[in-house]
């Protein structure tokens, strides 16, 4: 039973002056029981159910109530007028309350939606602002990083160029390009990843590996010399030049 209908109204004057007084004491007790069932089931009480559950299968008392027009049977269902009036009144109130509740809920929903939209809009703007600030920070960091790398690279170039008269521009360019290659993360150059790096000694080793002459020219490597000798031998044997 719904909490909204815990009881029904009972008027003593109607009881004392109504047709119920023409019925037996037993029928009056049956009437009260039928009213309770009727109220609990919101007016849906089949006649047969009332006979079985209230009258234990003996319909005499219930039929006397029907004969005195205290209760009615319509389409196999018990009908009690004064309870129907109260149920109808309750339905009207309930409908009004439901409409008021629905209207109030709709207003709250609209307000909540508006606030949510405003909140989402503010959140989007804040997120956009944070993203822009992050992008700007990344650009500044990248610029600072690039400036730092270029500064270090320029400093390295200055130290290498001191030896221009000794080794020549071509070798120094190759030396510089090799040792300033960046690592995968783009944070360090090759020479910076060496534990010890003495430019003068590295240049001497580089020149030695290239069979470098003091006049700035590079001798042929042993491999090239061997190849040249092999080509000359083949030319003499076949009379043709070998490439």
3-state SS string for 139-205: HHHHHHHHHHHHHHHHHHHHHHHCCHHHHHHHHHHHHHHHHCCECCCCCCEHHHHCCCCCHHHHHHH
Torsion over CA: 173, 175, 177, 179 (sign): negative
Task: Check: pTM over 0.85? Answer yes or no.
Answer: no
Contact 208, 197 (CB under 8 A): no
> Which range, of 32-36, 132-136, 185-189, averages the lowest pLDDT?
132-136
HSE, side-chain direction, 13 A CA sphere, residue 128:
6
Which one-letter DSSP state was computed for residue 1? -
Domain boundaries, the chain: 12-79, 96-154, 155-238
Residue 228 to residue 211: CA distance in whole angstroms? 17
pLDDT at 71 over 80: yes
Structure token pair of residue 136? 């700007």
Q: Is the backbone of residue 11 left (phi > 0), alpha (psi -120 to 50) or beta?
A: beta
Cα 193 to Cα 5, 152, 173, 196: the distances in Å are 86, 13, 20, 9
> What are the pLDDT digits (tens) for 34-66?
999 998 888 899 999 999 999 999 999 999 999
pLDDT at 178 over 90: yes
List all residues 6 or more positions away from 53 whose beta carbon is below 8 Å from its beta carbon.
37
Looking at residues 228-233, what average pLDDT do you find? Answer: 63
> Which range, of 93-97, 162-166, 174-178, 237-241, averages the lowest pLDDT?
237-241
Structure token pair of residue 45? 């009480």
> Which range, of 76-85, 109-118, 187-196, 217-226, averages the lowest pLDDT?
217-226
More confident of the two residues 140 and 25? 25
Cα 21 to Cα 13, 36, 55, 66, 181: the distances in Å are 11, 19, 19, 13, 114
Which one-letter DSSP state was computed for residue 23? S
């Amino acid at each position: 039973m719904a909490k909204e209908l815990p009881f029904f109204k009972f008027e003593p004057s109607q009881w004392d002056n109504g047709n119920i007084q023409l019925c037996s004491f037993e029928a009056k007790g049956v009437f009260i029981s039928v009213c309770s069932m009727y109220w609990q089931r919101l007016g849906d009480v089949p006649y047969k159910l009332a006979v079985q559950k209230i009258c234990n299968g003996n319909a005499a008392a219930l039929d006397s109530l029907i004969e005195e027009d205290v209760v009615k049977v319509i389409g196999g269902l018990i009908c009690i007028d004064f309870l129907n009036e109260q149920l109808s009144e309750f339905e009207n109130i309930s409908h009004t309350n439901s409409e008021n509740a629905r209207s109030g809920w709709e207003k709250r929903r609209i307000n909540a939606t508006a606030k949510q939209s405003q909140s989402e809009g503010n959140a989007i703007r804040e997120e956009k602002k944070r993203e822009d600030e992050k992008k700007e920070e990344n650009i500044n960091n990248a610029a600072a990083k690039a400036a730092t790398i270029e500064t270090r690279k320029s400093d390295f170039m200055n130290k290498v160029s001191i030896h221009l008269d000794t080794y020549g521009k071509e070798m120094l360019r190759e030396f510089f390009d090799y040792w300033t290659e960046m690592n995968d993360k783009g944070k360090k150059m090759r020479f910076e990843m060496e534990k010890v790096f003495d430019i003068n000694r590295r240049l001497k080793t580089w020149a030695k590996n290239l069979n470098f002459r003091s006049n700035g020219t590079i001798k042929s490597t042993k491999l090239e010399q061997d190849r040249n000798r092999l080509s000359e031998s083949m030319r003499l044997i076949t009379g043709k030049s070998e490439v």
